[in-house]
Amino acid sequence: MAAANTLQDLSSLPVTEKMSECKASLTNKPCVGKFNGKSEDKPLPSSLVVETEKPEGEKASVEVEYIESQNLNDVDDADAVLKSVLAGLDSKDWITVCDALNNVRRLSIFHKDAMLHLLEKVIPLVVNSLKNPRSAVCKTACMTSADIFSAYNDHITDLLDSLLTQLLLKSSQDKRFVCEAADKALISMTKYVSPTLLLPKLQPCLKNRNPRIRAKASLCFSRSVPRLGVEGITEYGIDKLVQAAASQLSDQLPESREAARTVLLELQTVYEKAQPLIKPETASSPEEEQQTLEAEPITWEIFCQSKLSALSAQAVLRVTNVVAVTARESLVTTGSSSSSQL
């Protein structure tokens, strides 16, 4: 009688309360649940693999299969994917988002002209994926960013600010495999986006309050400056670049300081090659300009002292003249040894 009453009570419960809790076992099996009293297996897509976490986690995690760009295949129906990709990127289901991100990568590689008009809507959604708490979504978004840079180059300059900020953030303070993917995306950015357009975007990041973001921005800065070439550096303004690099010499992290040294040595070489191309600021007429050009050239030391504060100039000269200083110290040491022997 008691058993019959119990069964009657259970039958009166709503379906949501009768749903059994789906707990992952410690074996690599899909999650199984009962809905409306029926057992239902939910098979996982072939692009996913199931991995078990530590026992204390008491749940299994699903990890996306990360496909390198060269191994991606074309989509079956480009038109259909173009129509659905925005909805997929904006989905609440993270697996759907990852699939949509991979479709963006495929479209960028195989149908870049067809997706060009969607970039204005796609990139903000990629930025949202970079903010996603799931590491799998973040890494896939980083890989998507790298493919977008390589496909669209300067077409995304106007949309770059928020994407750059998130990539710098992810490359500096996330799980290691996410950081590595973000680093690759930043390398792709400095490789494919014109340095003339990219450097103005990077310079504010050199002053970010987060020292790790400053360090990553400094590395991007050091990769972009040499791509300008001698004439490009002269046109951009070698004084602006020297000032930006000098500000990183006293930075908290060694990565920033080393990147600044690399840039300053490059700029010193360019300055010595391009002196005839650098127009003096004091010349107000062609005659004065000609007289200035005929005068003795301005040395790197004088140039730094005229463009930087005393302390910054001293730091820059210490870095760029280290070879000469070392040579002089060696000569002094040798001379002292010879005198002592006499």
- Write out pLDDT tens, residues 231-275: 999 999 999 999 999 999 999 999 999 999 999 999 999 998 887
Distance between CA atoms of 198 and 94, rounded to whole angstroms?
A: 31
What type of residue is 38? K
More confident residue, 25 or 207: 207
Once rounded to an integer, what is the mean pLDDT over residues 109-119?
A: 95
Which residues lie below 8 Å from residue 49, measured CB to CB, with a gap of 6+? 62, 63, 65
Which run of H or of E encompasses 235? Answer: helix 211-236
pLDDT at 276 over 50: yes
pLDDT band at residue 51 under the 50/70/90 scheme: very low
pLDDT at 43 over 80: no
Quote the pLDDT of residue 7.
45
Are the C-beta atoms of 108 and 86 separated by less than 8 Å?
Answer: no
pLDDT band at residue 174 under the 50/70/90 scheme: confident
Mean of the per-residue pLDDT values of the chain: 80
Distance between CA atoms of 161 and 64, rounded to whole angstroms?
A: 28
Quote the pLDDT of residue 322.
54
Distance between CA atoms of 170 and 267, rounded to whole angstroms?
A: 30
Distance between CA atoms of 191 and 184, rounded to whole angstroms?
A: 10
Which run of H or of E encompasses 60? Answer: strand 60-64
Q: Is 87 helix (H, G, I), strand (E, B) or coil?
A: helix
232 class by beta-carbon count within 10 Å (0-12 exposed, 13-18 middle, 19+ buried):
middle
Once rounded to an integer, what is the mean pLDDT over residues 109-124?
A: 96
pLDDT at 298 over 60: yes
147 class by beta-carbon count within 10 Å (0-12 exposed, 13-18 middle, 19+ buried):
buried
More confident residue, 229 or 174: 229
In the numeric block, which tokens belong to residue 329? 């110290």
Which residues lie below 8 Å from residue 313, measured CB to CB, with a gap of 6+? 246, 304, 305, 307
- Give the up-direction half-sphere exposure of residue 249: CA atoms within 13 A in the CB hemisphere: 23
Quote the pLDDT of residue 295.
57
Q: What is the pTM of this model?
A: 0.73
Highest mean pLDDT among 5-19, 43-57, 290-304: 290-304
Distance between CA atoms of 252 and 214, rounded to whole angstroms?
A: 9
Once rounded to an integer, what is the mean pLDDT over residues 79-101?
A: 96
DSSP structural state of residue 74: P
38-41 and 32-35: which strand pairing? antiparallel
pLDDT at 157 over 80: yes
